Chains A and B, each alone.
Chain A
Amino acid sequence: MVTRTGASEPVAGGADRGSWCGQCGEPVDGADHARCARRSDLEPPRWCVHCRRRMKVQVTPGAWTASCIEHGSIERSTWSS
């Protein structure tokens, strides 16, 4: 199954969608993130949606992993199996 993350999808567990945009690092509320949402097909998130820390992001041919020192990491496959 392909899992593509949306711009404001939580990066580490929980139902909380977070307060920050994973693509641009700006607050989710009060700004237009339509461009960020479009970009998320071709970009992994760079900012933790919970704390706005810059994450360590590793891209491989078929996946990406993003890690926040506080909120843990998440891996997404970008290939259909």
Chain B
Amino acid sequence: MTAQVTGTDILDVAREQVLERGVPLSQEQIAQVMRTGDDQLEALLALAHEVRMKYQGPAVEVEGIVSLKTGGCPEDCHFCSQSGQFTSPVRSVWLNIPELVRAAQQTAATGASEFCIVAAVRGPDEKLMQQMREGVAAIKAAVDIHVAASLGMLTQAQVDELVDMGVHRYNHNLEAGRSYFPQVVTTHSFDERLDTCRMVKESGMELCCGGLVGMGESIEQRAELAAQLGELEPHEVPLNFLNPRPGTPFGDLEPMESADALRTIAAFRLALPRTILRYAGGRELTLGDLGTRDGLLGGINAVIVGNYLTTLGRDPKEDLALLDELEMPIKALNETL
């Protein structure tokens, strides 16, 4: 007879396995953690925080992001207001190079070490690659900051060119676990996404690869995403909470409960003890000020400051004051976590 695994048991197992031995939780164990009750939440967050402090330290990586090309994307990711396939009010627009440099300067002024240039595309065309060549060179000439990019699916030649430009990290999310992915995107496959992720890793660029939760997936499928990210071993995992966008297929879903969001953060930390775990979109809506603080004490060790691609974030001063209060220094440009 197998004993029923209780919430307390799985936290004890996680303490010994992840904190003491550094072995990530398995998919089944991640799901068990995600199913623990509210009475266990405080202990769970405390454990995830201990894991983060032991394997990553107290520093927090701060990043700014900007949309170089907004809207009009041919893909149909059901959470995204930038798809041209839905009746979202987001219109197509390009950012010019002087404005791109200004955005990088503003980001650097917060103490951020990362600036990520994002485009709403299936993959880059020649026009976008040309904008990247000019834009990355202009930023590097004017601002001391690491430049990252997120431009969709890449060819090997494009990977090589981004490396040559000096792009040090590339973002390409899995979005969802493999079994739920077809409910989220139909215009490309999970394996196509994995192909780009693998090419990026092999190129020597750092891979930033995460996903979204709160899109109607089951706990098992949420755990599957964490486990599949763990297999990829990205340098960074950005965790997004669905912010339901008007006009998109997921526009009528309710935002995730903040306790579920916090359990997800802690479970991802226990699945990815050595990875940078970043707050990405949806945290203001899902967690608010109090939850933001709890997450930083529950496994998160990176933030996006300021606005997102099409929505607005908190004033960076509020985030920087919180980090100061929590005695979490901002990761310097020349440090690696």
Listed in ascending order, the chain A residues whose CB lies under 8 Å from chain B are: 2, 24-25, 41-44, 46-47, 54-64, 78-80
| B317 and A79 contacting across the interface, CB-CB below 8 Å | yes
Q: Which of B285-328 contact A (CB under 8 A)?
A: 285, 305-313, 315-317
Interface string of B96-119 (1 = CB under 8 A from A): 000100110011000000000000
| B315 and A61 contacting across the interface, CB-CB below 8 Å | no
Q: With A58-B67, A61-B306, A62-B306 given, is the CB distance from A42 to B102 under 8 Å?
A: no
| B66 and A61 contacting across the interface, CB-CB below 8 Å | yes
B275 within 8 A of A: no
B182 within 8 A of A: no
Q: Which residues of A contact B93 (CB under 8 A)?
A: 56-58
| B70 and A58 contacting across the interface, CB-CB below 8 Å | yes
The distance from the CB of A32 to the nearest CB of chain B, in whole angstroms, is 16
Q: With A46-B89, A47-B89 given, is the CB distance from A59 to B316 under 8 Å?
A: no
* Residue in A41, A42, A61, A80 whose beta carbon sits within 8 Å of that of B317 in the complex: A80
Q: With A60-B106, A60-B307 given, is the CB distance from A79 to B315 under 8 Å?
A: yes
Complex CA gap A60/B306 in Å reads 8
| A57 and B305 contacting across the interface, CB-CB below 8 Å | no
Number of A-B contacts (CB under 8 A): 78
Complex CA gap A61/B103 in Å reads 6
Complex CA gap A7/B307 in Å reads 18
Q: Which residues of B contact A47 (CB under 8 A)?
A: 89
B217 within 8 A of A: no
B24 within 8 A of A: no
* Residue in B102, B284, B285 whose beta carbon sits within 8 Å of that of A60 in the complex: B102
Complex CA gap A63/B105 in Å reads 13
| A42 and B306 contacting across the interface, CB-CB below 8 Å | no
* Residue in A24, A42, A46, A60 whose beta carbon sits within 8 Å of that of B95 in the complex: A60
Q: With A46-B89, A64-B307, A80-B317 given, is the CB distance from A59 to B67 under 8 Å?
A: yes
Q: Which residues of A contact B64 (CB under 8 A)?
A: 61
* Residue in B70, B106, B246, B310 whose beta carbon sits within 8 Å of that of A61 in the complex: B106
Q: With A56-B91, A59-B310, A60-B66 given, is the CB distance from A80 to B315 under 8 Å?
A: yes
| A61 and B311 contacting across the interface, CB-CB below 8 Å | no
| B90 and A57 contacting across the interface, CB-CB below 8 Å | yes
Closest to B312 in A: A42
The distance from the CB of A18 to the nearest CB of chain B, in whole angstroms, is 16
B65 within 8 A of A: yes
Complex CA gap A46/B64 in Å reads 23
* Residue in B107, B311, B315, B317 whose beta carbon sits within 8 Å of that of A43 in the complex: B311
Q: With A54-B89, A61-B305 given, is the CB distance from A2 to B315 under 8 Å?
A: yes
| A62 and B307 contacting across the interface, CB-CB below 8 Å | yes
Complex CA gap A46/B71 in Å reads 13
Q: Which residues of B contact A78 (CB under 8 A)?
A: 306-307, 312-313, 315
The distance from the CB of B108 to the nearest CB of chain A, in whole angstroms, is 10
| A58 and B312 contacting across the interface, CB-CB below 8 Å | no
The distance from the CB of B251 to the nearest CB of chain A, in whole angstroms, is 12
| B310 and A57 contacting across the interface, CB-CB below 8 Å | yes
* Residue in B66, B99, B285, B309 whose beta carbon sits within 8 Å of that of A42 in the complex: B285
The distance from the CB of B164 to the nearest CB of chain A, in whole angstroms, is 26
| A59 and B312 contacting across the interface, CB-CB below 8 Å | yes
Complex CA gap A25/B313 in Å reads 22
The distance from the CB of B95 to the nearest CB of chain A, in whole angstroms, is 6
Would you list 13 pairs from A and B whose C-beta atoms are within 8 A, ordered by A residue? A2-B315, A25-B89, A54-B91, A58-B70, A58-B95, A59-B309, A61-B64, A61-B307, A62-B306, A78-B307, A79-B106, A79-B317, A80-B315
Q: Which residues of A contact B305 (CB under 8 A)?
A: 61
